[in-house]
Amino acid sequence: MEEKISSNKIMRGIIISFCTLLVIMFVSVSNSISVSAKTEKEITPEVYTLTLEELGGVKEKISGSDIGVKYNSETPRVITYDDGLLQKRINKLSCLDSSKIFKSQNATLFYQNNGYVISREVYGNEINKNVLYEQVVKAIKSGDTTINLESTNCYEKPKFTATSSEVASAKDTLNKYVSSKITYSFAGLTQYVDSSVIKNWLGVDGNSQVTIDAGKVKNYVDTLASAYTSSLGISIKVNGGYEGNNHSWIIDSTEETKSLIENIRNGQAITKQPIYAQTSVASYFSNVGETFVEIDMAKQHLWYYKNGYLVVEGDIVTGNVSAGHSTPEGVYHFYGKQKDSVLKGEDYEAPVSFWMPFVNQIGLHDASWRSTFGGEIYKTDGSHGCVNAPYYVAKAVYENINIGDSIICYN
């Protein structure tokens, strides 16, 4: 009897345990369905909002109702939206307002203490609209409620940073270029092209490639002789004289510009003469020599070179243009020199300390009766054809010039 009772207790316990298990399973299943249903109910067009986390802690929201979010009831969690509405909403975002945008900037190179150094890049807040659109669509389809624009690469980044190999290479190239030192030495002119000049011709393009401004280099070549305010570097057209135009000369600006750029690219330290447009330098210096007087009648200025070096220069007064006494253009030779002479003409007698004739009765001399030289005096109050010079200029030429040396007169 006791055994039967014991068996019944055991059976009753098993039944109770099984029922308890069923209750637990039922409750679990019920909770699971409830949560799932709740999730589907919460993610609706009316309550769905996508938050955009922007730089500086700024947040903007795109609501489901603004873009026509819908769910496919037959296939849970498949989300659709109105692309036209989405495009309009994105266009209205504050982060795309052009008035609030500053662009990222590449690392730059600047000249400092005789060399180039790198300035770090700058990160801006300009949005790549295509990337932003793709990330927003991706978030909507996934049911995500937040996008961090920086971590999803929505911002435009600098193309080149301070650690970019292209920037390092550009720095090395720039420093090579400014290490060049080209010395021009001719006709008494010494001109240096070094870092202080070269740096103004250099640049770096959008691909971090070093550039040399050929236009600026050519401007320099065109004014190579500006240190002496002379006519070196431009064509001297001599129409008269014993040998006509044979002594005209010109620096070939185009070819010399190319040559100078090549010197800089090679980082050279050299002394050179410019490239002449004549077949050789001899066409000028061998014929005229390196000792000559240069008279620019347009500028009313004289330069005297001896053995290629400038001895003296100064303003002058040439022949009176209005009276028809213009000093003749041409390449001539001094055929005499005399101290303390009196120059005589039909209507004048003029004592001079230094007289150096070069064509007919026209010559170079001092003019103690003049207090000023240069400018436009020659047009209405010039000489009878001679070159009037200040005492110190005439003296310096007289003491150094030899009979047979050349004088070049041109406009």
For residue 349, what pLDDT is reported?
86
Rounded mean pLDDT, 34-57: 66
What does each C-alpha distance from 376 to 11, 229, 346 come to in angstroms?
137, 17, 25
How far is C-alpha 397 from the geometric centre of its chain's CA atoms?
A: 45
Structure tokens at 132: 């932003």
How is residue 399 annotated by DSSP?
H
Predicted confidence at residue 360, as pLDDT, reads 86
Catalytic member of 247, 301, 333, 365 = 365
Whether residue 384 lies in the annotated active site: no
| For residue 283, pLDDT beyond 80 | no
In a 13 Å sphere around the CA of 228, the CA atoms on its Cβ side amount to 25
Give the single-character DSSP code of 274.
P
Average pLDDT, the chain: 81
Do β-strands 292-296 and 406-410 pair in parallel, antiparallel, or remain unpaired?
A: parallel
Q: 388 with 297: CB under 8 angstroms?
A: no
pLDDT of residue 76: 58
pLDDT value of residue 78: 74
The yes-or-no answer on residue 365 being catalytic is: yes
Residue 8: per-residue pLDDT: 52
The better pLDDT of the pair 193, 306 is held by 193
pLDDT at 90 over 80: yes
pLDDT tens for each residue of 224-274 = 744 433 433 333 444 334 343 334 445 677 888 999 999 999 999 998 877
* Cβ-contact 127, 96 below 8 angstroms: yes
Distances (CA, A) of 359 to 73, 248, 387, 399: 112, 19, 11, 20
pLDDT-based confidence at 209, cuts 50/70/90?
very high
pLDDT digits (tens, 9 = 90+) for 110-131: 999 989 999 999 999 999 999 9
Q: Please give the average per-residue pLDDT across 386-401, as a whole number.
A: 96
Average pLDDT over residues 326-330: 90
Which of 206, 188, 227 minimizes the C-alpha distance to 306? Answer: 188
Q: Is the pTM of this model over 0.85?
A: no
Three-state SS at 63: strand
Q: Are 61 and 51 in contact (CB under 8 A)?
A: yes
pLDDT at 284: 40
Q: Higher pLDDT residue, 394 or 276?
A: 394
Gap between the Cα atoms of 223 and 229, Å rounded: 9
Average pLDDT over residues 396-410: 92
Q: How confident is the model at residue 50 (pLDDT cuts 50, 70, 90)?
A: very high
Kindly state the average pLDDT of the residues 151-171: 97
Residue 77 has what pLDDT?
63
pLDDT for 254 equals 85
- The percentage of residues in the chain with a pLDDT greater than 90, rounded to a whole number, is 60
Q: What is the pLDDT of residue 288?
A: 65
pLDDT at 247: 41
Q: Residue 12: what pLDDT? A: 54
> What pLDDT was estimated at residue 315?
96
Catalytic residue among 301, 333, 384, 386: 386
DSSP lists the bridge partners of residue 341 as 352
